[in-house]
Structure 1
Amino acid sequence: MSRLAILDKDRCQPKKCGYLCLEYCPGVRMGEDTIVIHKKTKKPIISEKLCSGCGICVKKCPFDAINIINLPEALGDPVHRYGENMFELFGLPIVTEKEVVGLLGPNGIGKSTILRILSGELKPNLGNYQNPPSWEEIFEFFRGSQLQDYFKKLANKEIRVAHKPQAVDLLPKYVKGNVKDLLEKTDELNKLDEISDLLNLEISLKKDIKELSGGELQRVAIAATLLKDVDFYYFDEPSSWLDIYQRLNMAKVIRRYAEKFKKSILVVEHDLSVLDTISDYIHVLYGEPNAYGVVSNKKSVRVGINEYLKGFLRDENVRFRREELKFHVSRTIETTKKGTIIKYPSFVKCYNGFKLYVDSGELYENEVVTAFGPNSIGKTTFAKILAGVEKPDKGKIEENINIAYKPQYISIEFDGTVEEFLHKNVTYYGTTAFRTEILKPFKLENLLHREVSTLSGGELQRLMIATVLAEDADLYVLDEPTAFLDVEERLSVAKSIRKIVENKHAAAIVIDHDILFLDYIADRAMVFYGKPGVEGHATKPMSLRNAMNKFLSQVNITFRRDKETKRPRANKPDSYLDRKQREVGEYYYYDT
């Protein structure tokens, strides 16, 4: 059995612990160099060959910086390793011509690493980070597989690739100028007008790139990638920053592009509705985040997503999660038996060039109401008014209730650790209730000693949601809580929101763009419609089915329920079920 010793250098603080790992290691006590200290960084280095796997150093480390993992021999040799005591990747997806292949897995499991390797940005070292292999050795490693021919062509520059990176919000730092001018320089297919029309970039083309919103930057990055005349296209999280309509439209555009021009596309995606719509096949990635990742066999989209939700890969005989993630079929709120948390009148809010009209509504105890619609349609404005951050111009909300609010954009200026931040902002921090309801479900235990300023987007999101839900409130207002979270984190957050709302007999308004997350959490829903940036209308809360039917009829996509997991699945355009549901007006269909 091979063994991995992973050290999180950000968490490791030897000045504070005095090298407890070194002090208690049985190998070191017997005079072996099982753990030594790096001369420059002063961080411990753990020998995977000498380590016995006893786990004492893992238990003694006060900062949870060490992870010792026993790997099954069946994994074979790694494709890449970043360095000593660092992340290791096993396997690569099959790069298939003229198909769209999706990658599904948690954050920190190697998906972006895979795209960098396949796009030629990162040369696989086959685990030998000290003496990286030659291309000939890499060809021999992949001998007998499609990847051998792929890497030969990549090394000899016989194929071209285009890679849309994950962090599109950083583009203005590296690219300057007018959007149309930039895309014209990228356009190798002479299809700028067509792609611009499909992705609704008419207004964005007139702007400077530094003026673009996150959603506009994402669509411009997708357009720039599609406009290149290459053999393989790689998209890293193309749905981030996009609203529901833009996500489903983007999926249709890439799907159509692959079919019409016979292109080969690989997509990393956390929105299962998008992944379901866009992919022909998928690979599931499992392992342990920030330690190692394994690429599964190629699977059909339905089988792959369902096995991921179940936490068990049948072909590999691997269970990577204890609990299955299950979806409900429907929830019926018996409003006559529930107390009213808030009853708000119709109101209007005006800005320069934009008006929001909100229908009157009620929110009840123990319910989660979701709100969805296009970007720039007034959802965040509604949240701010409900939370008391802003006041309406017409109408008045007079309810005197406690409201906890998580804004869309998170910015924490705090000089200290996560533990210090929680201690300052959570009244019952340190109690058993906090540990079971907040700390464990949001996976904050391993972040406690980290500086808040060093947290990633997903870690910061989990911290903020946890802090808001820890407040003693009657109403929780959460604006886009799934941003930067992977599939498992999204559904875990959904379970925590529902549990806390029901335990406190409170209510919650959740604004988001992930259809599966909305379906998983919602009792009722609000639909925002109108003309983005000009005028928005918000309906009163209604049944999720009616709300989804209203919205999906506008974006012209139908959904069915998977018979095995009950998750919503997008129908292929013009398929039998697609045509049948349109005929009866059931765009969001519930199997009975």
Structure 2
Amino acid sequence: MRIAIVHKDRCHSRKCGQECIAYCPRVRTGDETIQIGENGRAEISEELCVGCGICVKKCPFEALDIIQLPEELDAPIHRYGPNSFVLYGLPQPVAGKVTGVLGPNGIGKSTAVKILSGQVKPNLGIFEREVTWDEILKFYSGTELLSYLQQVAKKTIRASIKPQYIDFIPKVFKGTVGELLRSNDERKMLDYYAKELTLDTILDKDLATLSGGELQRVALTVALSKEADFYFLDEVTPFLDIYQRMIAAKLIRELADKHPVILVEHDIAILDMVAETVHIAYGKPAAFGIITRPKGVRIGVNQYLEGFVAEENVRIRDYPVVFETRGHESDVEREILMQIPEMTKSFPGFTLKVAGGEVRRGEVLGIVGANGIGKSTFAKLLAGVETPDGGKKFDTVTVSYKPQYVTAATSDTVEFLLRQATKRFDSSYYQHEILEPLGLMPLLQSEAKNLSGGELQRVAIALCLSRDADLYILDEPSAHLDVEQRLVTTKVIKRAAEDKGAGIMVIDHDMYTIDMISERLLVFDGNPGANGLATGPFEMKDGMNKFLGLLGITFRRDKTGRPRINKPDSYLDREQKAAGEYYYYNIDAAALAAAAKEDGEGE
């Protein structure tokens, strides 16, 4: 089975020499295997294509993919048209359970939910004519999805959807937080959700004035408040701190006791905590996606991180994701780059105090703390965006800063923006260490204003690292990135710190990202929204124990070295708190077995 994909947003036939046609062997023999269509983009005949892949290599914009699929795949569930994305498999909503979906962006998760919610009628890969529901139900005859899809066919399914990108909410609904929540309070749970997610203090605020974290909590509350047969939650954790993520996980579990929930989430620690089963989604983003049958959450997450799906006998990644179980101390004697001065910054109702410290050359310094406690203010003080009390700006070193919220209204291309930021754009180093790992090569001719949230985040990271500076500060670089993109991004940032001999600060709430990227930690304590205190930097073990101790949350490591959240008041949670070890903790096999049994996973 072979499919040909033309990425329409990358195909620019007027800017190239139409190499795909010029070099195609079948075109040279007289066949019309590749043509330029009326829309000015390439069209490939899958019947005539021999799969040589020459056009893929010759296309200057990486707009083509010729993919050989496993022969044992069933017919596709849905395809958008000739040379377009194709999806195989669907996740299974299960009453009384949270079903997780774990996979990269652009792999068909949104398409799957549109089918399950009745927004899109699956076409079984047939787009020359309309496929009837009788054909679709016959295809699913004998499967667990049959009864569910019968309800979809009758249009009796009502779905509540929390979208991935929440930026458009203030554009669609004009008004206050309270007005939006009250208009969607079908389950009469507004008072409870507002209290749990600390929204009661912002009910009178206009939606357009909300921060990303506030908007995320509002979007989750709207989705949970609706009366529906099926709930689909797409990325609930971006811009939420670890404590807010735990609260969100608790509310989702409560909802799942009565209604089926499908959760797409890239924070594996939270997905691991909240889901009972997980579907792995793999394939090639924007080309094809395959959704596996459900697996136990621990087994599914470990297989995804390993990069090998055992039941399907498929390797989905060339490398495993490995978590180091040793301490994060560096073997290199690092030179001090700068001293963080003691600073204070006061706003009406809020005061930040910075105790001082030092940043070393070549290290990545993680910054952790609750939302509203001054982390972004601290970054702005170092970047010179804000001036500390006393009036003297921090100007000891040059700083390159990536803000927490990334937007782009410009029609400039990605290549134009990056060339403005660096003179090294054409160098081999820049191509191999920045553009290729961050997956920016296919986006170079795209206009910044047309990028998705994940694409825009990767461009912003590249722009920050492209500038010449002594200190690089990246505020929440993991937001809207999938698991594999987060892994690659951590490697890019760590290599940049070493290669540039610079200091890099990373503010993030994803514990996996912080675990993989940080050499030391700066910890923020205080009362969110009122006062904050920055202390450290600490060595990783001491810093994580301090931070998680403030939140009352414990992590353990399983046999793979993967950090996992302990359930509150569970055996390991109580044991680790008693020992004062909240993150790095050596647990014997018997204790791990007891924890797994308590989590309902068996041994």
- TM-score tier, shorter chain, comes to over 0.9
Shift of 1:201: 1.4
**Identity rate, percent:** 49
Partner amino acid, structure 2, of 1:258:
A
What is the match of residue 570 of structure 2?
575
Structure 1: distance between partners of 2:202 and 2:554: 29
| Contact persistence 2:381–2:394 (CA under 8 A) | no
Aligned pairs, how many? 587
What is the match of residue 237 of structure 1?
235
Structure 2: distance between partners of 1:31 and 1:289: 32
What is the match of residue 555 of structure 2?
559
Structure 2: distance between partners of 1:415 and 1:94: 41
In the alignment, structure 1 residue 586 sits paired with structure 2 residue 586: no
What is the match of residue 290 of structure 1?
286
What is the match of residue 368 of structure 1?
364
In the alignment, structure 1 residue 477 sits paired with structure 2 residue 498: no
What is the match of residue 420 of structure 2?
424
Helix, strand or coil: the match of 2:366?
strand
In the alignment, structure 1 residue 500 sits paired with structure 2 residue 499: no
Shift of 1:18: 4.1
Going from structure 1 to structure 2, the CA distance change for 1:347 and 1:10 (only over 3 Å counts) comes to: same
Moved more, 6-15 or 400-409: 400-409
TM (norm. structure 1) is 0.94
Structure 2: distance between partners of 1:202 and 1:267: 25
In the alignment, structure 1 residue 150 sits paired with structure 2 residue 145: no
Partner amino acid, structure 1, of 2:212:
G
1:126 to 124, 127, 131: 124
| Contact persistence 1:252–1:277 (CA under 8 A) | no
Per-residue Cα deviation, 1:354-386 (whole angstroms, up to 9, x for no partner): 211111111123321111222222111101111
| Contact persistence 2:414–2:447 (CA under 8 A) | yes
Shift of 1:483: 1.7
Partner amino acid, structure 2, of 1:581:
Q
Helix, strand or coil: the match of 1:169?
coil
What is the match of residue 50 of structure 2?
52
Helix, strand or coil: the match of 1:17?
coil
| Contact persistence 1:78–1:127 (CA under 8 A) | yes
| Contact persistence 2:165–2:453 (CA under 8 A) | no
Structure 2: distance between partners of 1:335 and 1:474: 22
Structure 2: distance between partners of 1:413 and 1:149: 45
Structure 2: distance between partners of 1:249 and 1:275: 13
Going from structure 1 to structure 2, the CA distance change for 1:14 and 1:209 (only over 3 Å counts) comes to: same
In the alignment, structure 1 residue 272 sits paired with structure 2 residue 268: yes
Shift of 1:484: 1.9
| Contact persistence 2:384–2:394 (CA under 8 A) | no
Shift of 1:255: 1.7
What is the match of residue 313 of structure 2?
317
Shift of 1:214: 2.2
Shift of 1:399: 6.7
Shift of 1:396: 5.7
Partner amino acid, structure 1, of 2:297:
V
Structure 1: distance between partners of 2:216 and 2:46: 42
Moved more, 195-204 or 578-587: 578-587
What is the match of residue 79 of structure 1?
77
In the alignment, structure 1 residue 65 sits paired with structure 2 residue 63: yes
Shift of 1:342: 1.1
Structure 2: distance between partners of 1:515 and 1:350: 29
Structure 1: distance between partners of 2:260 and 2:502: 48
Q: Is there any run of 5+ residues in structure 2 with no aligned partner, and where?
A: 588-603
Q: Is there any run of 5+ residues in structure 1 with no aligned partner, and where?
A: none
**Within-5 A mapping of 1:483-562:** 483-562=479-558
**Within-5 A mapping of 1:388-427:** 388-394=384-390, 400-412=396-408, 415-427=411-423
| Contact persistence 1:312–1:319 (CA under 8 A) | yes
Structure 1: distance between partners of 2:106 and 2:146: 26
| Contact persistence 1:476–1:507 (CA under 8 A) | yes
Structure 2: distance between partners of 1:527 and 1:239: 20
Partner amino acid, structure 2, of 1:17:
C
What is the match of residue 213 of structure 2?
215
Helix, strand or coil: the match of 2:168?
helix
Helix, strand or coil: the match of 2:573?
helix
Going from structure 1 to structure 2, the CA distance change for 1:180 and 1:124 (only over 3 Å counts) comes to: same
| Contact persistence 2:212–2:405 (CA under 8 A) | no
Going from structure 1 to structure 2, the CA distance change for 1:211 and 1:49 (only over 3 Å counts) comes to: same
What is the match of residue 258 of structure 1?
256
Partner amino acid, structure 2, of 1:32:
D
Helix, strand or coil: the match of 2:401?
strand
Going from structure 1 to structure 2, the CA distance change for 1:248 and 1:333 (only over 3 Å counts) comes to: same
Per-residue Cα deviation, 1:174-214 (whole angstroms, up to 9, x for no partner): 22333333323322322221222222211122323333322
Going from structure 1 to structure 2, the CA distance change for 1:222 and 1:368 (only over 3 Å counts) comes to: same
2:443 to 435, 441, 447: 447
Shift of 1:308: 1.1
| Contact persistence 1:558–1:588 (CA under 8 A) | yes
Structure 2: distance between partners of 1:391 and 1:211: 23
| Contact persistence 1:21–1:57 (CA under 8 A) | yes
